[in-house]
Amino acid sequence: MVRPIAFLAGLGFVFVLLFSLVTGAIAFIQEPPKPTVEHEFHLHPKEVSFASDGPLGKFDRQQLQRGFQVYKEVCAACHSLHQVAFRDLEGIGFTPAEVKAIAKGWATEVPSVNPDTGEAATRKGTPADKIPAPYPNEVAARAANNNANPPDLSLMAKARHDGGAYIYSLLSGYQDQPAELLKQFPDAKTPASLHYNPYFANLNIAMPPPLAADGQVTYADGTVATKDQMAKDVAAFLIWSAEPKLENRHAAGIAVLGFLLIATILAYLSYRNIWSGMKH
Domains of the chain plus CATH, in order, are 37-84+131-248 (1.10.760.10)
Per-residue pLDDT tens over the stretch 120-177: 788 899 999 999 999 999 999 999 998 999 999 999 999 999 999 999 999 999 999 9
Per-residue pLDDT tens over the stretch 234-247: 999 999 999 999 99
Please, what is the angle between helix 227-242 and helix 163-172, to 10°? 150
Residues of each annotated binding site = 75, 78-79, 207
- The answer to whether the pTM exceeds 0.75 is yes
Between CA 205 and CA 199 the distance in angstroms is 10
What radius of gyration do the chain's Cα atoms show?
Answer: 28
Q: How many CA atoms lie within 13 A of 218 on its CB side?
A: 0
**Whether the Cβ atoms of residue 244 and residue 88 lie closer than 8 Å to each other:** yes
Backbone angles phi, psi at 214, to 5 degrees: -60, 150
Angle at 262 between CA 256 and CA 263, to 5 degrees: 85
Nearest to 205 by CA among 196, 218, 217, 214: 196
Residues of each annotated binding site for heme c = 75, 78-79, 207
